[in-house]
Amino acid sequence: MSDSTPSAVPPAEPDAPSAVAASRPPVAALCLAFAAVSISSFGGVLAWARRMLVENKRWMTAQEFNDLLALCQFLPGPNIVNLCAVFGARMRGIPGALACLVGLLGPSVVLMIAAGAAYRRFGALPEMHGVLSGLAAAAAGAIIAAAVKMAEPLVRVRLGPEHAVALATFVAVGVLRLSLPLVLLVIVPASIGFAWRRADEK
Amino acid sequence: MRSDPPTLAALFLQFAVLSLFAVGGGGSAVPEMHRQTVEIARSLTDRQFSELFAIAQAAPGPNIMFVALLGHFIAGVPGAAVATVAMCGPSCILACAVSQVVERFRKARWRIAIQAGLVPVTIGLIAASALIIARGADGDWASFAITATTFAVVYWTRLSPLVVFACAALAGLVGFV
């Protein structure tokens, strides 16, 4: 579930009239802007949200966006959803956060309900069987590619505790199918401990 | 053995816990979603899980909205709403509550250590997600071929994955898989 497929985004339009956007947009504008992102963002929302916030509306600078994204990757949960909520809260408090979330998630929930209803109704038809098989096989390829891309930096560094952590997590969760919270309660503190000691060595 | 369909409250609790344990992003929670819904509750099959995952990837909107599709399959329209609120609510509340503090300690050693420590865990979880989705999707040589092709395109080119998804769906429609 990589939210960072930049390839899916069309090239940026020529600059809109370059008035510095009014700071603190109204709640309705926040909601509508994220709804527009939600329905147009094929292939991962992140790049589209960045384009809306930084380039089109100029509600954030590129640096502010990067900092907020890093923060949301640091915290648990879906990154882009967290980013949208924190941005909304900074603009307009709790109503702002809710407006952004409704905009981002609302159209998508409706779409998913429609897709889910269609799936229940037609998913088992022979004509659909092939289409769904093809889609599922492609989704598998895409997520394998995302996993390999993420793992690349590990290939370049000397074998160390982080390799053991990645492998242990994969085996515990993917192969042994242990409970995620249990695995994380053991592995995350250990991994942070290794990283803490590594910071010592530097 | 098929247990009773989960109540909305149970569904909410499952996804709310996942919201706070999805380190690095929503994708990290996919293996546990599979464990809870396919292995324990047996609400759907391996294949259905992979198909719903694929539909959510191909649709616009955040990829995490897979939970809405999953919730809908398990418990209808209320299930979709409950799963979405549960998966997004707790992490958003946490993010809004701590963002100022965490931002202030951006250069602190503890924050750097936590950030670095979560990276390999996230890698392991995304790899586990890939294994689970592939296991539900790939049953014969034709689907393996589509998976391998998609991997190659996404990994080595900047082509939109959607183009590959469309081609894969088309290949399925004409009877390739």
Of A7, A170, A188, the CB nearest to B23: A188
Judged by CB atoms closer than 8 Å, whether chains meet at B56 and A112 is answered as: yes
Helix H, strand E, coil C: the string for chain A is CCCCCHHHCCCCCCCCCCCCCCCCCCHHHHHHHHHHHHHHCCCCHHHHHHHHHHHHCCCCCHHHHHHHHHHHHHCCCCHHHHHHHHHHHHHHHHHHHHHHHHHHHHHHHHHHHHHHHHHHHHCCCHHHHHHHHHHHHHHHHHHHHHHHHHHHHHHHCCCCHHHHHHHHHHHHHHHCCCCHHHHHHHHHHHHHHHHHHHHHHC
Classify residue B101: in a domain, yes or no.
yes
Domains: count for chain B = 1
To the nearest whole percent, how much of chain A has pLDDT over 90?
80
Residues 6+ away with beta carbon under 8 Å from B133:
A136, A139, A140, A143, B30, B49, B50, B53, B54
Domain range list for chain A: 6-122, 135-201
pLDDT attached to residue B80: 97
Q: Does B39 sit within 8 Å of A137, measured CB to CB?
A: no
Please state, in angstroms and rounded to a whole number, the distance separating the CA atoms of residues B102 and B89. 19
Who among B18, B120, B159 is closest to A162 (CB)?
B120
Q: What pLDDT, on a 0 to 100 scale, did the predictor assign at position A202?
A: 57
**Model confidence pLDDT, tens digit, residues A161-184:** 999 999 999 999 999 999 999 999
pLDDT in tens, A79-119: 999 999 999 999 999 999 999 999 999 999 999 999 999 99
What gap in Å lies between CA A30 and CA A24, rounded to an integer? 9
First to last CA, chain A: 33
Q: What length does chain A have?
A: 202
pLDDT of residue B6: 65
Q: First CA to last CA across chain B, in angstroms?
A: 30
Q: Report yes or no on B150 lying in a domain.
A: no
User: How do residues B94-146 score in pLDDT, each as one tens digit?
Assistant: 999 999 888 898 889 999 999 999 999 999 999 999 999 999 998 899 999 99
Nearest CA in chain A to B38: A177
This complex has an ipTM of 0.92
pLDDT at A2 over 80: no
Question: What's the pTM value of the predicted model, to 2 decimals?
Answer: 0.89
Chain B contact set for A175 (CB, 8 A): 128, 131
pLDDT for A24 beyond 70: yes
Distance CA A166, CA B123 (A): 6
d(CA B74, nearest CA chain A) in Å: 10
The pLDDT of residue A126 is 86
Instruction: Pull the structure tokens for residue A78.
Output: 């879906």
CA distance A112 to chain B (A): 5
A74·B114 Cβ contact <8 A: yes
Average pLDDT over all residues of chain B: 93
Expressed as residue numbers, the domain containing B50 is 8-137
A95 to chain B nearest CA, in Å?
A: 12
Q: Hey, of B154, B163, B165, B170, which one would you mutate to test binding to chain A, going by the most A CBs within 10 A of its CB?
A: B154
Using the beta-carbon criterion (under 8 Å), do B161 and A150 form an inter-chain contact? no
Nearest CA in chain B to A79: B25
Of B80, B121, B146, the CB nearest to A112: B80
The per-residue pLDDT for B177 is 81
Tens of pLDDT, residue by residue, chain B (177 residues): 444 556 899 999 999 999 999 999 999 999 999 999 999 999 999 999 999 999 999 999 999 999 999 999 999 999 999 999 999 999 999 999 999 888 898 889 999 999 999 999 999 999 999 999 999 998 899 999 999 999 999 999 988 888 999 999 999 999 888
